[in-house]
Structures are given as structure tokens and as C-alpha cells.
Amino acid sequence: MRLLLATHNQGKRREWRALLEGLDVELLLPDDLGLHDDIEETGETYTENALIKARALAAASGLPTLADDSGLEVDALDGAPGVRSARYHLGTDEVRYRALLRALEGVPLERRGARFRCIAALVLPDDAGTSREYITEGVCEGVISFEPRGEAGFGYDPVFYLFEHSCTMAQLTEAEKNRISHRARAAQAMRPILEREARLARP
């Protein structure tokens, strides 16, 4: 089954390729099909944003399309940055996570609880112009560290500390991250659906 991944982010592509390993799926990006239009994520929830991306690219390509939307929710900031995590501050990933650390200056460890949340949306178009849609969710709990550590990963990974691993998300190996991350958990829930659809798509 050809599956379009609704992202231009190479980090996400690597993660999803590893997470879907073993499935009878050819993973494509919009660039592979000459689809370069950026889709404005106007939703107020992760689910809305994931569906906006998946529906738009499924309609444009005619292919089964998988999108995800995720964010970091910090207890001391009333769940912010949340759905606006990628737009929390203009600039690079480092600019954003350092802005987050500044916002938490003086906040003690016991109030720095946080979680990464990911919603995955699969849109399966058909020849009649309709589609079937599936939604899965994954959550990873941690705390925001006092300083960044680690070189792997992307986004807020260097400041997201996992007590059970005694390190930040950015200090995990790719294989470790792909077992416990929020995206990994959403993907694990999506795998049976993709397995069934790949089986049905075989000639």
C-alpha cells in the first residue's frame, strides 16, 4: 500500500519509517508527488489539525494519508504551549525550548510536570469521493528539566526529562525513543489499522 505522510519534516519521516517497519507500506512524502503547498493548521485541537492535513493531502493525491499533530503540555503553564507548540516562539527549536525554560524560571521541579501528546489521523479516500477516517492517540509523561541535555531528537526533546530513563528525550537512542515516545504510542495504536488496510489493498 502506498501511504502519504502529511509532513515535510525529515525528522518525522525518519520516526514514522522506523515505527511502521515491517508493514507492507511504501511511505511517501508530499515532495515525492510534487505537492508543495503548505497547509495552514487552523484547528484548536491536535485532532482538528491532524485531520486538516490528512484530508487536504488525501484529496490532492487520492492516496491513503497519515498525519499527526502533537504538542508539549506543561502543567505550570496551564497546558501551554499545547497545540501551538511549533509556534510557541519564532525561530529554531532551540529558540523555542529556551523560551520555555525562561517561562519556567523559579518554578520548582514538583511543578514542572509535562507531557508530549500526539494524535495520528488516517484518511482513506475512495473512488466515490468519500473517505474513512481513523484517529489514535499517544501520550508520554515527563518533566521539564532546568537545562537542555542531549543532541538527538528535535523540538523540545532536550528539555523533556524522563524519570524512568534518567535522561531527556534527546539523550535516548532512536530505537529507545521509538519505543516510548508519544508518536510511537500513537503509531502502535495505528499499526493494526494499517496492517488491515495494507492487506485489503493487495491485488
Those residues whose C-beta lies under 8 Å from the C-beta of residue 38, and which sit 6 or more positions away, are: none
Active-site residue list:
69
> 98 near 83, Cβ under 8 Å?
no
Determine how many CB atoms are found less than 10 A away from the CB of residue 163. Answer: 9
The torsion region of residue 62 among left (phi > 0), alpha (psi -120 to 50) and beta comes to left
Please report, for residues 82, 88, 98, 121, 145, the alpha-carbon distance to residue 111 in angstroms, rounded to integers and kept in the order given. 17, 20, 18, 32, 11
Nearest one of 66, 73, 158 to 121, comparing CA atoms: 66
The C-alpha cell that represents 45 in the structure block: 485541537
CA distance 203 to 193: 18
153: three-class secondary structure by DSSP: coil
